[in-house]
Amino acid sequence: MCWGRHFRDEIIGLCMRWYLRYPLSYRTLKKMMAERGLKLDHSTTARWVLLYAPVLNERIRLEMRWPNRSWRVDETYVRVVGAWTYLYRAIDSAGNTIDFLLSFKRNLTAAKAFLQSATLQVDERRPRVINVDGHPAYPGAIEELKRSGELGRNCRCRALRTIAGYEAMNIVRKRQIRWLPKADLLAKRSASIARSASQPDLN
């Protein structure tokens, strides 16, 4: 037990793990500890999380595997301490977490700050491609970071809608379609799909 704390390290670690891993409130965690004979105020757990969560994050990042160089970035709207904010997230193509950022704004400044933070997490393994959602600020932010040298000059920015098209064509190319038993039908069928998709639905 560290000096100045009234609970053993194992108790602090357990409470933090349960709170951060599962959708528990501080008051629910207080009741769970009471069932185990431990008198613990909910505000105490809150102080532990605020104090030690950044330390936990820092130590875990030192042990993380390096992500690959194909990134996916997006943002979602979440409520944090009663206020709505944007959660920016970056993962690699294998689903490994790279970085996240909370921002009250969804604009070029926020997108650039997020990508700057993410590149700092990977040292020299900067992305070769960044797949983005429909957020229009990403292309501009990526170009600015390329000019400043924070991203490689050959780093590409691709929209996820474009990726969906690439994947659809890869499925056709690999003959994963039931009605494509012969290679010479590939071009014809691909062209047929493209024509059908481009025609408006008049029904």
81 and 54 in a common domain: no
CATH code, domain with 109: 3.30.420
pLDDT digit string, tens, across residues 137-187: 999 999 999 999 999 999 999 886 555 565 566 666 666 666 655 554 545
Residue 109: pLDDT over 60: yes
What is the Cα–Cα distance from 167 to 126, expressed in whole angstroms? 24
One domain, residues 119 and 80: yes
Total domains in the fold of the chain? 2
What's the burial of 193, exposed, middle or buried (CB within 10 Å: 0-12/13-18/19+)? middle
Nearest residue to 118 via CA among 149, 85, 151, 148:
151
Predicted local confidence at residue 4, as pLDDT = 42
Q: In what order do the strands lie in the sheet with 70-80?
A: 97-103, 83-92, 70-80, 129-132, 156-159
Mean pLDDT of 73-87: 86
Whether residue 142 is contained in a domain is answered as yes
Instruction: Please give the pLDDT value at position 2.
Output: 43
| Per-residue confidence (pLDDT) for residue 88, from 0 to 100 | 93
**123 and 142: one domain?**
yes
Residue 203 lies in a domain: no
Are residues 133 and 83 part of one domain? yes
Condensed to tens digits (0 to 9), the pLDDT of residues 120-151 reads: 888 778 999 999 988 889 999 999 999 999 99
Residue (of 46, 55, 51) closest to 27 by Cα position: 46
Does residue 87 sit in the same domain as residue 114? Answer: yes
- The confidence band for 1, taking pLDDT boundaries of 50, 70 and 90, is very low
Helices (H), 67-159: 108-121, 137-148
Residue range 12-18: mean pLDDT, rounded: 89
Instruction: Examine residue 3 and state whether it is found in any structural domain, yes or no.
Output: no
Q: Assess whether 84 and 126 both reside in one domain.
A: yes
One domain for residues 32 and 87:
no
Neighbours of 121 (CB within 10 A): 15
Look up the domain containing 55 and give its range: 9-62
Looking at the fold, whether 92 and 53 belong to one and the same domain comes out as no
Q: What is the mean pLDDT of the chain?
A: 81
Q: Note the pTM of the prediction, 2 decimals.
A: 0.57
**Are 39 and 84 in a shared domain?**
no
Residues 86 and 103 in one domain: yes
Q: What is the Cα–Cα distance from 135 to 73, expressed in whole angstroms?
A: 10
Instruction: Please indicate, yes or no, whether residues 106 and 28 belong to a single structural domain of this protein.
Output: no
Same domain, 79 and 36: no
